[in-house]
Amino acid sequence: MKPKTISIALGALALAATAAVAASPARRAILDGYAAKAGAPPSVARGKAFFLGTHSGGKPDISSCTSCHTRDPHKAGRTRAGKSIEPMAVSVTPSRFTDAAKVEKWFGRNCKTVLGRACTAAEKADFIAFMAGQ
Amino acid sequence: MRIPRLPFPVWPLGAALAVAGTVFAVGVFTGAGANAEDGEGMGLRPVTDKTVQAECGACHMAFPPGLLPARSWRAIMGKLDDHFGENAALDDETAKRITDYLVANAADSGNGNRRVLRGVRTNDTPLRITELPWWVREHSREVRPGAFKDPRVKSKANCGACHRGAAGGYFEDD
């Protein structure tokens, strides 16, 4: 294969992947915004590790996203007050990550709770990229 | 096609059901009436404001503002970044709008049911509905200890786990 063909094929692959990751224009814009701010393309694998991982610096009893969201993004989570949280997976809850203000509000709150600090733009982009493919 | 006839007349069954229903209804009604004198069971105006519903109702039910006095709502809304251990921070504009609504409809606003404030000193600012003397009294008599730790309930803030009409403002005994 000629280098040009390879680059076209790679470009097509990247496009397809991006389309799968962010089918909604609003979500796409939010994801692109964080990725641009991060200065690097989002990583689904990093997003997954971030979601499933145990973090330090925040509240010890809520040290992971999974503390409330469960380890399966396709399943409903539960708040400490007992209320159900809609699944994070975009395939189950298509409205996820389509409202920029709402996304910022919840990253703002939950990153402080779980990590004790604000999340970086890269972490946000990775997280959305992972959930968009779920 | 002929509809097969039942081998017995149907009306006595209907009558029996109706009588049973009436007896049941009267039983429930008197029960509620008697309880009301003890201060049990309560109807409160549910939250009607869309913003308040959405923001306050995101993690727990949007508690009727009539469950706390205005000073309590102001105190709660003044430190949303530590909301009973949760970060519930909001932008200033949204927070102000919610505070105004809660204060305007608080237990001591004239629209509220003052029964919830019995035993609360005027210089005290209760922050938890579940620590009001009224709430404690109601829930200590009938709720078995440990019910709030049931995984289906999880928290005293989960009114709807037992009060199925809670979202509509009905906190009768269930």
The rounded mean pLDDT for chain B is: 80
Tell me the mean pLDDT in the region B126-130. Answer: 95
Q: Which residue has the higher pLDDT, B145 or A61?
A: A61
Within 8 A of B88 by CB-CB distance, chain A residues are 109
Beta bridge pairs of residue A78: A84
Mutate to test the interface with B, among A109, A112, A115 (most CBs of B within 10 A): A109
- The pair phi, psi for residue A18, each rounded to 5°, is -65, -40
Instruction: Give the pLDDT of residue A92.
Output: 98
Residue A79 carries which DSSP code? Answer: -
Q: Where are the alpha helices (DSSP H) in chain B?
A: 11-38, 50-56, 70-77, 92-104, 133-142
For residue A7, give both structure tokens: 């680059």
Q: Which residue has the higher pLDDT, B70 or A14?
A: B70
Mutate to test the interface with A, among B53, B61, B154 (most CBs of A within 10 A): B154
Smallest CA–CA distance from A109 into chain B, residue: B87
pLDDT, tens only, B72-87: 999 999 999 999 989 9
Residue in the structure block whose two tokens are 């969201």: A69
Q: Which residue has the higher pLDDT, B165 or A57?
A: A57
From the list B89, B90, B157, the residue facing A81 with the nearest CB is B157
What is d(CA B3, CA A93) in angstroms, rounded to the nearest whole number? 48
pLDDT, tens only, A58-83: 999 999 999 999 999 999 999 999 99
For residue A129, give both structure tokens: 């990229």
Helices A121-132 and A100-115, packing angle to 10 deg: 110
Instruction: Give the pLDDT of residue A94.
Output: 97
In this prediction, what percent of chain B has a pLDDT beyond 90? 51
What is the pTM for the complete model shown? 0.76
Question: Is A59 in contact with B85 (Cβ distance < 8 A)?
Answer: yes
Residue A85 carries which DSSP code? Answer: E
B37 pLDDT more than 90: no
The dihedral region occupied by A78, where left means phi > 0, alpha psi between -120 and 50, and beta the remainder, is beta
Residue A59 carries which DSSP code? Answer: -
Has the ipTM of the complex gone over 0.85? no
Instruction: Give the pLDDT of residue B43.
Output: 81
Question: Is A109 in contact with B158 (Cβ distance < 8 A)?
Answer: no
Which SS3 state, helix, strand or coil, does residue A63 take? coil
Question: Contact, A78 vs A88, CB < 8 A?
Answer: no
Question: Is B59 in contact with A113 (Cβ distance < 8 A)?
Answer: no
Question: Contact, A122 vs A50, CB < 8 A?
Answer: no
pLDDT band at B170 (very low <50, low <70, confident <90, very high): confident
